[in-house]
Amino acid sequence: MKDAGGRLLAGVQLDRTGEQPLYRQLALQMRAMIGDGTLPPGARLPSTRTLISELGVSRATVVAAFEQLTAEGFLRARAGDGTYVDRLWGTPVPRRRSARPPLSERGAAVSARGGELYAEAPLSWSPREAESFVASQIAVDAFPVSAWRRLVAHRASRRELLGYPDAHGFDSLRTAVADYLVDVRGIDCDADQIVITSGAQQALNIIATLLLNPGDRVAVEDPGHIAGRVAFQAQGCRVVGVPVDDEGAVADAARADPALRLAYLTPARQHPLGMTMTPGRRAEWIGWAQRADAWIVEDDSDGELRYGGRLLPTLFDLDGADRVIHVGSFSKILAPSLRLGYVVLPRDLVAPFAAASSVLARPPATLMQAALADFLREGHLHAHLRRTRRLYSARQQALLEQLDTRMAGRLRASPVVAGLHVIGWLAGDVDDQSVARGLAARGVYTYALGDYRVQRRLPPALLIGFAGTAQEHMAAAVARMAAAFDEGCAAEWTGPVASE
CB-based contact 166:353 (threshold 8 Å)? no
Does 221 bind ligand PLP (CB under 6 A)? Our answer is: no
Nearer to ligand PLP, 273 or 427 (CB): 273
Residue closest to ligand PLP (Cβ):
199
CB-based contact 215:194 (threshold 8 Å)? no
Does 357 bind ligand PLP (CB under 6 A)? Our answer is: no
We find the least distance from the C-beta atom of residue 301 to ligand PLP, in angstroms, to be: 4
Q: Which stretch binds ligand PLP (CB under 6 A): 118-126, 196-204, 304-312, 445-453?
A: 196-204
Nearer to ligand PLP, 268 or 411 (CB): 268
CB-based contact 360:366 (threshold 8 Å)? no
CB-based contact 396:466 (threshold 8 Å)? yes
Residue list 416-435, contact with ligand PLP (CB under 6 A): none
Nearer to ligand PLP, 202 or 402 (CB): 202
Fill in the amino acid letter for 404. D
Nearer to ligand PLP, 62 or 277 (CB): 277
Choosing from 193, 301, 357, 402, the residue that interacts with ligand PLP (CB under 6 A) is 301
CB-based contact 407:171 (threshold 8 Å)? no
Does 267 bind ligand PLP (CB under 6 A)? Our answer is: no
CB-based contact 437:453 (threshold 8 Å)? no
Choosing from 298, 299, 317, 374, the residue that interacts with ligand PLP (CB under 6 A) is 299
CB-based contact 247:275 (threshold 8 Å)? yes
We find the least distance from the C-beta atom of residue 252 to ligand PLP, in angstroms, to be: 23
Choosing from 25, 193, 276, 329, the residue that interacts with ligand PLP (CB under 6 A) is 329
* Dihedral pair phi/psi, residue 411, rounded to 5°: -150, 155
Beta bridge partners of 448: 462
Residues with Cβ within 8 Å of 376's Cβ and at least 6 positions away in sequence, in order, are 173, 176, 177, 179, 180
Q: In the chain, what is the straight-line distance between the N-terminal and C-terminal CA atoms, in Å?
A: 82
**How many residues of this chain bind ligand PLP (CB under 6 A)?**
14
In terms of DSSP H, where are the helices of 80-225? 112-119, 145-156, 171-180, 199-211
Q: Which stretch binds ligand PLP (CB under 6 A): 85-93, 148-156, 173-181, 195-203?
A: 195-203
Choosing from 199, 223, 363, 450, the residue that interacts with ligand PLP (CB under 6 A) is 199
Does 304 bind ligand PLP (CB under 6 A)? Our answer is: no
We find the least distance from the C-beta atom of residue 468 to ligand PLP, in angstroms, to be: 13
Residues with Cβ within 8 Å of 207's Cβ and at least 6 positions away in sequence, in order, are 231, 295, 297, 325, 327, 343, 353
We find the least distance from the C-beta atom of residue 487 to ligand PLP, in angstroms, to be: 29
- Give the Cα separation of 78 and 59 in Å (integer): 19
Does 364 bind ligand PLP (CB under 6 A)? Our answer is: no
Its sign, for the CA torsion 132, 137, 139, 140, is: negative
Residues that bind ligand PLP (CB under 6 A): 136, 199-201, 225, 228, 266, 271, 299, 301, 329, 331, 336, 341
